[in-house]
Amino acid sequence: MEFQASRSFAESMDRRDPLREYRDYFSIPTQGGREVVYLCGNSLGLCPVKAMDYVQQELERWQRLGVWGYFHSPRPWVGYEEPLLGMLAEIVGAEVEEVAMMHTLSTNLHLLLLSFYRPTARRFKILIEHNPFPTDRYALVSQLRLHKIDAAEALVELTPRKGEFVLRSEDILEAIEELGPSLALVFMQGVHYHTGQCFEMEKIATAAHQAGSMVGFDLAHAVGNVPLRLHKWEVDFAVWCSYKYLNGGPAAVGGHLSTKNTA
């Protein structure tokens, strides 16, 4: 099939889309009385049609049960995440015991870095991609400060080749190999928030481990968007939010994965 930049081609692709029916599961905003073409799931996913009913049910239970809602409700609030973990594990390609739903992406990142970034005098560098998400950089710099390590020396930012906008996989793998014994952590986005580049996570994870480094991913723009096999790829840890492609709603609880016990 050849791509054509025409309305009829787009409509024929829509008709063939196996996910077509799911469109009706979401409320699509309107402007001037017409449904918009919503391309902002990278910022905030659409509201599922059922969300209003679910929220209303919980508010009614809170009114009716007060503190008993924690335990004596059809969906007890203590352990609210338990029914969701199976689905979440499937989305990120992990075991149920490896995933958790809590906090925000940035809070989870701070917590996981405490476990997974264990610098030594020799192995202390962190490899990140050019133009990382600003809050990720703050979290990484704050970890370095905690360990009294100079970010200018330790934070290695990979830039695309001159005249190019995205990173080549071979350059990422080469940088990992070169940093080798000084590398403590490779931390990258699964899908870059700015360029949309989907990184070859499996290859990056393998190369990081070969270099003796930990590897983690910010999956804010990957979770619910691209296929993930975090367990198979042996990713050590990952963090994500659920208000983008998981359609959890503004300020929805984030999630994380950790496949190793670092205790």
Residues contributing to the site for ligand PLP (CB under 6 A): 104-106, 133, 135-136, 189, 193, 218, 220-221, 241, 254
Helix (H), strand (E) at residue 231: none
Which residue spans within 28-134 are E strands per DSSP? 30-31, 34-35, 47-48, 99-101, 125-129
| CB closer to ligand PLP, 124 vs 217 | 217
| CB closer to ligand PLP, 119 vs 254 | 254
| CB closer to ligand PLP, 128 vs 176 | 128
| CB closer to ligand PLP, 144 vs 211 | 144
CB of 132 to ligand PLP, least distance (A): 8
CB of 116 to ligand PLP, least distance (A): 17
CB of 190 to ligand PLP, least distance (A): 9
229-232 contacts, C-beta under 8 A, 24 or more apart: 229/93, 229/202, 230/92, 230/93, 230/94, 230/98, 230/201, 230/257, 230/259, 231/93, 231/94, 231/95, 231/98, 231/259, 232/93, 232/202
CB of 67 to ligand PLP, least distance (A): 29
Helix (H), strand (E) at residue 146: helix 134-146
Helix (H), strand (E) at residue 13: helix 7-16
251: left (phi over 0), alpha (psi -120 to 50) or beta: left
Contact 125, 262 (CB under 8 A): no
| CB closer to ligand PLP, 76 vs 249 | 249
User: Which of the 8 DSSP states describes residue 110?
Assistant: H
CB of 221 to ligand PLP, least distance (A): 6
Query: Which residue's beta carbon is nearest to the bound ligand PLP?
Result: 106
| CB closer to ligand PLP, 221 vs 256 | 221
CB of 245 to ligand PLP, least distance (A): 11
